Amino acid sequence: MIRTRFAPSPTGFLHVGGIRTALFAYLVAKQANGQFVLRFEDTDKKREVPGSAEHLIASLKSLGIDYDEGPDKPGDYGPYIQSERLDTYKQWAQRLIDSGRAYADPYTAEEIQAFRDQSQAAKRAFLFREYRPENPPEWDGSQPLRFKAEPKSYCYHDEIFGDVTTNAEVVDDFILYKSDGYPTYNFAHIVDDAEMHISHVIRGQEFISSMPNYLALYEALGLELPVFAHMPHILNEQGNKKLGKRDGAKDVLDYIRDGYLPETMVSFIATLGWNDGTEQEIFTKDELVQKFSLGRVQKSGARFDEMRLLWMNGHFIRELSPDELYNRAEFFWPEAAKKAEESYKKRVLALAQDRLKTLKDLPGLTSYFFEEPAENRELITSNKQLSKLSVGEVGGLLQGAHDALSGSEWTAKAIQDTLNSLLETTGQKPGILFSLIRIATTWAPFSPQLNDTLALLGKEKTLARIASALHN
């Protein structure tokens, strides 16, 4: 039975790397009809950030990464919050004490610092086991509890990094329990993965360096090893350092608020360092469930390319049915659209759909359909071609457009014919004439195709706006 888990610590926002780990763990479980478990690892109370547990849940839900068991979804192996499982860790710790593999650490922070200094002076890496007390006191919970390591080399297989042999020297007497009464991640996650029957441990590559200690602990506890897969880092756009907030890596919910579709985020995140071996770049969640494999995750870090994200979002927006787009657009309309009829808004969307890169583009692209736009002459003066026209020429062209359109029938086709004859009579290029009419009727930097825009705007408004542009 395949059981995977996502085990975040509620210490902040869920970044893209975290979501990718969650998504991959989810996909591995779903494609095998297994279960995906959410577990909160909250044993480092100092680092906890209020609200982040709710935020993590909301982020997963926003992308449809549904878990089968979790803090708010009871299952056979709960609770799924580490701070509610302290009795379990105590029992496992006792087993290690009983078998002579754990002992109380009697030293003060100053004493440990002195050991560190000693090692440094001798130019050796600090290893606690070299200072292991001969007669440790009985563990009463007020001292840290340490693992008693037996330095040994291990071989293990990582689904992404391949076969790895660890160095015996680095296994150390690491802390299992802190003096604050909470177990460490290093101990608790192994207990939980065993208790929760987790078959695949999928997590960030920062845990690779601790694998020697973990393998020693699995062995001491007599546990079978799960499958391991460590996720390479996600890199900034240049590919030269780990992705940070400054590189545009926002919280997943921020992307949703910024008008990115959940299906874009899923496809984009899945293809950060993974492909299916073909040229395909865009995947639906169902396709990912079928095609994903840990074996095809690249070892090298994946580059986070915002332009690719934007492009992909435009693709997913174009794929939406009119009704679906209307539903998704709900919170993105300009203020003035609130009073408009649904059928009118749907017609606006039909025109704008091809040009939307994010749903947040909606107001900029459509507000002039709902309210009179403020004139912004800069759109003319900063336009490369239009800025070459004199005031008189602009006036002449607008007057000509007004006259021609006044006599036109008002369908998209008839308007196009009128505009085409106007091109001939004025001898202008579309880049000049159509841009000018577009600007004078929308005062927006972008708008859908001109004839469609004017058709929807209506004859009266179109002519009134051109007239107003002429008179100001």
Catalytic residue ranges = 245
What's the rounded Cα separation, in Å, for the pair 317 and 258?
A: 14
Instruction: Report if residue 189 touches ligand GLU, rule: CB under 6 A.
Output: yes
Instruction: Report if residue 7 touches ligand GLU, rule: CB under 6 A.
Output: yes
Q: Considering only residues 3, 8, 80, 349, which one is a binding residue for ligand GLU as defined by CB under 6 A?
A: 8
In the range 91-120, which residues lie near ligand GLU by CB under 6 A? Answer: none
Q: What would the two tokens of residue 69 be? A: 């068991």
User: Can you say how many angstroms the Cα of residue 341 is from the centroid of all Cα atoms in its chain?
Assistant: 34
> E strand or H helix at 186, and its extent?
helix 185-195
Burial class (CB in 10 A: 0-12, 13-18, 19+), 205: middle
Instruction: Report if residue 17 touches ligand GLU, rule: CB under 6 A.
Output: no
In the range 199-238, which residues lie near ligand GLU by CB under 6 A? Answer: 203
Nearer residue to ligand GLU within complex by CB, 86 or 464? 86
In the range 38-57, which residues lie near ligand GLU by CB under 6 A? Answer: 41
Nearer residue to ligand GLU within complex by CB, 52 or 143? 52
- Taking CB atoms within 8 Å and a gap of at least 24, the contacts of 245-250 are 245/15, 247/304, 248/304, 248/306, 249/15, 249/16, 249/304
Q: Buried b / exposed e across 310-341, counting CB within 10 Å, b at 16+? A: eebbbbbbeebeeeebbebbeebbbeebeeee
Radius of gyration of the chain (CA): 31
The single-letter DSSP state of residue 73 is: B
Determine the interface stretch with ligand GLU among 2-10, 271-279, 316-324, 403-411 (rule: CB under 6 A).
2-10
Nearer residue to ligand GLU within complex by CB, 7 or 171? 7
We find the least distance from the C-beta atom of residue 203 to ligand GLU, in angstroms, to be: 3
Name beta bridge partners: 102. Answer: 147
Determine the interface stretch with ligand GLU among 7-15, 134-142, 270-278, 452-460 (rule: CB under 6 A).
7-15
Determine the interface stretch with ligand GLU among 4-12, 149-157, 172-180, 317-325 (rule: CB under 6 A).
4-12
We find the least distance from the C-beta atom of residue 256 to ligand GLU, in angstroms, to be: 22
Q: Considering only residues 9, 435, 451, 462, which one is a binding residue for ligand GLU as defined by CB under 6 A?
A: 9
We find the least distance from the C-beta atom of residue 193 to ligand GLU, in angstroms, to be: 8
Q: What would the two tokens of residue 377 be? A: 């002459």
We find the least distance from the C-beta atom of residue 22 to ligand GLU, in angstroms, to be: 9
Nearer residue to ligand GLU within complex by CB, 193 or 361? 193
Site track for ligand GLU across 133-172, x = CB under 6 A: ----------------------------------------
We find the least distance from the C-beta atom of residue 204 to ligand GLU, in angstroms, to be: 6
Pairing of strands 302-303, 35-38: unpaired
Three-state SS for 377? Answer: coil
What's the rounded Cα separation, in Å, for the pair 440 and 461?
A: 11
Position closest to ligand GLU via CB = 203
Q: Considering only residues 131, 185, 326, 410, which one is a binding residue for ligand GLU as defined by CB under 6 A?
A: 185
Pairing of strands 175-177, 302-303: unpaired
Determine the interface stretch with ligand GLU among 5-13, 88-96, 238-246, 401-409 (rule: CB under 6 A).
5-13
Nearest CA to 327 among 357, 349, 356?
A: 349
What's the rounded Cα separation, in Å, for the pair 293 and 30?
A: 12
Q: Which residues bind ligand GLU (CB under 6 A)?
A: 7-9, 41, 185, 189, 203
